[in-house]
Each structure stands twice: as C-alpha cells, then as structure tokens.
Chain A
Amino acid sequence: MAKLDVLFAKWLEGKPITEDELAALRNNSEYRDMLQAATQWQQHAKTYQVQTPPPQLTQQSNTDTWSLSTVAAWLVVGLGVAGLWLQNLGLHEQMTAQQRQLAKQQEVIQKVLSQFDEVKPIEQEALSRLVTQVVEQNRKERSLAMNNLVDLIQAQRAQDQALLRLQLNELAEQVEQTPTQNLAQYRGKP
C-alpha cells in the first residue's frame, strides 16, 4: 500500500512510471478511482478557457493606458524636447569645434614656446657677439673720426700760423719803409 502511495504521488508529480507500476495502481480499487479522478482534473485543467479579466480590473491596474490627449500632450512635449535637443546638439558641436581649435592653438603656442626656448641661448650668444662687434666698430669709427679731427685742427693751425707769418712779414716790411718822423715817439723811461 505504501508502495502504491509513493507510485501515485510520483505519477501526480508528473514523473514517469512504468506500465507495470501504472497497472499496479489500476489494480487497486482505491487508487484506480483516485487515478481516474486525477485524470479528470487534468482534463479539466486542459479544457479550462482562461477568462479575460473584466475591464474594471484591467483599468484599475492599467494606469499606463493613456488617453489621446495625454499622448498628444506627450507628443508636443517630446517634439519640444527633441527641438531643444537638436539645438543643443548644434551648440554642442560648435562648442566642441571651438574647444578643438583652442586645443590646437594651445598646442601650436606650446610648440613655438618650446622652440623659442631652444632658440633663445643661441640667439643670446649671437646678440652678444653682434653687440660686441657694434661696440668695436663704433670704437674704431670714433677713433678714426678723432684722428681726422686732430688732423683737421693741426692743418687749420698750420694754415693760421702761415697766414700770421705772412701778415707779420708784410707789417715788418711796411715798418721798415715808413719815415722816422711819422713814427710814434716813445718819451717814457726805458
């Protein structure tokens, strides 16, 4: 009996049993009736037509059943949002382009600065050389100019002296040829 109980429970759970085991159940009057009743319930379950819940229940639970106006309102909101989104997208693109350009510019500046840093010591050296050269040149020119000036002054003095000598000679000649009464008398003590 206990064995039949286990077999019947196994059958009810949908586990496979052999033909002999099924025959053993059918041979027992108590289990045969239960087997028949269970088969009938299984049949009922198969033939049961699932009922559609009444609209009251569906409406109660279907809070997402939107009316046309709600849908329209959402559509308008959706379009507005989409418009804003598109506008935003354009701005975003522009901003991205600007940011990209700025980054490029910064990169170029950075490159120039680094090049400048590299060039700077060389340039400084060249500049110093140039300055030294200029100073030396100036010094030479100045020295030359001074020499010229000195020469000019010396020539000028020589010319002046020559002119003075000529004038003095002329004067001496005039004094020698003039009569003595015309000469001024010095009446003071010697």
Chain B
Amino acid sequence: MFFNSEKQLIKRALQGNQGAWASLCKQHHSRVYNQCLRLVGEPQDALDIAQDVFISMHRNLHTFNGNSQFSTWVFKITHARIVDHMRKRKFESIEGKEPEVLQAGPDAGVAQQQSNQEIYDALKQLPFEQRIVVELKFFQHYTFEEIAMQLELSTNTVKARLYNALSKMKGQLEVRDHG
C-alpha cells in the first residue's frame, strides 16, 4: 500500500511500525517547528520544544482516541510543551540567565530572516496567552470556536485576548510611526 490515511498511520505506528511513525512525524514536523518558532522566537528553543513535542507524541500516541483531529491533538501537546518552556525560561531569567540570541539557520536567506524576525519581534511583545491566540487566528486560520476548544477557554475569552493583542499592536504601530 503506497498511500495511507492518517488513521491507518496512527494504527500502524501504535503496532510498532517505524515507517508509519516516521510518516506521521514528516506530516507534522514543519508545522510544529514553525509554530514553536513563532511562539518562542528562537530557532534553538523551537528545535528543543519540537523535539520534546515528538517525544511526547510518541509516548502518548496510545492516548489519542480519534475524537478530535490528529493535528488538534498535536497542537495541544505543542502548546503544553511551549508553556513548560516559557515557565522554565521565566525561571531562568529570574535566575539571571540571558536568553539565547537568535541565530540565522544556514539555509535561510537574509531577507527572509529579516521578514520573519519582524514577526517574531512583534509576537514577542505580546503576553503568551495573547500570542497563542494570534498564532492560532492569523497563522493557523482557526475560527474562534476552534481556538476556544483547543485552549479549553470560552469563545468570549478568546475574543477578548485577541482584541487585547490587537489593541496592544496599535500602540506599537503608533510608536513605530512616531519613531
């Protein structure tokens, strides 16, 4: 069989099929990595988190019951690992450890890096709970209801967080315009 549905891949991965597991990872690794990159803004951290995400996925694959989409389940794990990372990072900054400087990847163009850097910087200005809503709304294109379901919040809370993020951006724009 040359084409496998996600369901079949999960089933086979659970049976210990390494190829199926590799295919599942291949389907999600770019999305997970880029999501981590946008939310933490640093490639090395994003890589660490993404690796943790795949380890968690592997350990907990048997808990995926198929009630939601696999991508939603992956996002929940990603979210949890990012939250863990943020807590750890917060602790380290209190301890006086400086965050790592963003290093450009070997294959990344300079213009591309600059464009993405602006996005990372803009996202970094937002508190994490707002950043994640912006990520899901504008980069993942989810509806308010889907975001609420993934974050286990009410739709109104999600809207409030997004509006706050947008209002905050207005302040940044004003600063940039005046600067």
Number of contacts between A and B (CB, 8 Å)?
A: 104
Judge if A13 is at the interface, Cβ distance under 8 Å: yes
Determine the residue in chain B with the shortest Cβ distance to A62. B22
Q: How far is the CB of A44 from chain B (nearest CB, A)?
A: 5
Contact with B along A36-49 (1 / 0, CB 8 A): 11101110110111
Kindly identify, within residues 8 to 46 of chain B, every residue whose CB is under 8 Å from any CB belonging to chain A.
18-19, 21-23, 25-26, 29-30, 33-34, 37-38, 43
CB–CB B167/A34 < 8 A? yes
Give the number of chain B interface residues (Cβ < 8 Å): 44
Contacts of B21 in A (CB 8 A): 61, 63
Contacts of B163 in A (CB 8 A): 34
Judge if A33 is at the interface, Cβ distance under 8 Å: yes
Determine the residue in chain A with the shortest Cβ distance to B21. A63
Determine the residue in chain B with the shortest Cβ distance to A49. B112
Given the known interface contacts A53-B29, A57-B50, the answer about A45 and B167 at a Cβ–Cβ threshold of 8 Å is no
Contact with A along B143-173 (1 / 0, CB 8 A): 1100000000000000100110111011001
CB–CB A57/B143 < 8 A? no
Judge if A54 is at the interface, Cβ distance under 8 Å: yes
Given the known interface contacts A38-B166, A52-B107, A64-B18, the answer about A44 and B122 at a Cβ–Cβ threshold of 8 Å is yes
Determine the residue in chain B with the shortest Cβ distance to A40. B169
Contact size range, A: 20 to 34
A-B contacts, 23 of them at CB < 8 A, read A34-B166, A34-B167, A37-B165, A37-B166, A37-B169, A38-B138, A41-B166, A41-B169, A44-B118, A48-B34, A48-B115, A49-B115, A50-B30, A51-B37, A51-B105, A53-B30, A53-B33, A54-B43, A57-B47, A57-B51, A58-B29, A60-B54, A63-B18
Binding site for B on A (CB under 8 A): 9, 12-14, 30, 33-34, 36-38, 40-42, 44-45, 47-54, 56-58, 60-64
Binding site for A on B (CB under 8 A): 18-19, 21-23, 25-26, 29-30, 33-34, 37-38, 43, 47, 50-51, 54, 105, 107-109, 112, 115-116, 118-119, 122, 134, 137-139, 141, 143-144, 159, 162-163, 165-167, 169-170, 173
